[in-house]
């Protein structure tokens, strides 16, 4: 039971991080380089999870992804997949909720690079994609790492959204943070402590690792 829950927790966190890494880079790139009037709107949407209570996001996801909604009904009919009270559901919730934790560090990393680096790459005949892969991303390793770790750690610690959209199905949607709440309610303090301590130690180790690695990266640049 304990291991199943921890494994599920890290599975959700890992998949969320990978997906957000892939969609976070183009979005951060767009925000950091656009002059479009839409920019403040997109920035606001990306940042909303920072200020909204998780239960609000969870509530709307429940409404919009439920089997009786247009989106939920469509997915259920065509892909035979239920988006609420399911693994897929908490994955969608986690991705939306951790959005700013991936996009913000990458965005500020890209913005901190001198514009002349990108222009130099263009004048050397390199396309936008080549410039991104060979110049921009390799020079913001710190930011990429920060985005990855914050997203991962934040997903591991997520409670409200997951509870609202996923419920508490063992092995399917019960994540560690929910299990703690559950065990405390049932007065199983020992088991609750086991979950809590595990999360504490893992989070501490991950963050420590990031700061050590970041120090190394910036050491190279000095």
Partner 1 sequence: MISIDIKKSFKNANFHFKTQIQDNSLNAVFGKSGSGKTTLLRLLSGLETPNEGIIKVDDKTWFDSKNKINLPPQKRDIGFVFQDYALFPNMSVIENLRFAQPSKDENFLAELLDIIELTNSQNKYPELLSGGQKQRVALARAVAKKPKLLLLDEALSALDSVMRVQLQDDIENIHKRLNLTTLMISHDIAEVYKLASNVLIVEDGKIKKSGNPDILFENSQLSGKFKFSAKIMKIEQADTIFIVTLLIQNNLTKVVATQEEVRTMNIGDDVLVASKAFNPIIIT
Note the residues at the interface with partner 1 (CB under 8 A). 114, 116-117, 119-127, 134-135, 138-139, 220-222
Q: State the nearest-atom distance from the C-beta of 115 to partner 1, in Å.
A: 9
Q: State the nearest-atom distance from the C-beta of 145 to partner 1, in Å.
A: 15
Whole-angstrom distance, CA of residue 102 vs CA of residue 207: 15
Residue with smaller CB distance to partner 1, 127 or 205: 127
Residue with smaller CB distance to partner 1, 68 or 123: 123
Q: Which residue has the tokens 């514009």?
A: 115
Q: State the nearest-atom distance from the C-beta of 152 to partner 1, in Å.
A: 24
Q: State the nearest-atom distance from the C-beta of 24 to partner 1, in Å.
A: 20
Residue with smaller CB distance to partner 1, 124 or 169: 124
Residue with smaller CB distance to partner 1, 71 or 120: 120
Query: Which has the closest alpha carbon to 110: 176, 32, 184?
Result: 32
Residue with smaller CB distance to partner 1, 78 or 219: 219
Calculate the CA 199 to chain-centre distance.
17
Q: Which residues contact 166 (CB under 8 A, 6 or more apart)?
A: 84, 85, 86, 87, 89, 90, 93, 172, 173, 174, 175, 178
Q: What's the sign of the alpha-carbon dihedral 89, 90, 91, 95?
A: positive
Q: State the nearest-atom distance from the C-beta of 77 to partner 1, in Å.
A: 46
Whole-angstrom distance, CA of residue 71 vs CA of residue 83: 9
């Amino acid at each position: 039971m304990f291991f199943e829950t921890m494994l599920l927790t890290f599975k959700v966190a890992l998949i969320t991080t990978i997906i957000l890494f892939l969609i976070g880079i183009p979005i951060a790139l767009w925000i950091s380089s656009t002059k479009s009037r839409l920019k403040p709107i997109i920035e606001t949407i990306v940042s909303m999870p920072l200020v909204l209570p998780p239960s609000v996001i969870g509530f709307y996801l429940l409404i919009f992804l439920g089997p009786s909604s247009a989106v939920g009904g469509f997915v259920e009919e065509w892909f035979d997949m239920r988006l609420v009270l399911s693994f897929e559901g908490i994955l969608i919730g986690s991705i939306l909720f951790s959005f700013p934790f991936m996009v913000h560090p990458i965005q500020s990393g890209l913005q901190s690079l001198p514009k002349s680096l990108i222009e130099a790459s263009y004048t050397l005949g390199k396309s936008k994609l080549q410039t991104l892969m060979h110049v921009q991303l390799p020079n913001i390793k710190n930011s990429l790492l920060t985005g990855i770790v914050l997203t991962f750690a934040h997903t591991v610690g997520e409670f409200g959204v997951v509870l609202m959209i996923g419920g508490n199905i063992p092995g399917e949607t019960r994540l560690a943070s929910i299990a703690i709440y559950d065990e405390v309610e049932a007065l199983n303090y020992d088991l609750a402590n086991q979950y809590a301590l595990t999360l504490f130690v893992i989070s501490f180790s991950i963050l420590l690792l990031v700061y050590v690695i970041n120090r190394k990266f910036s050491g190279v640049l000095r």
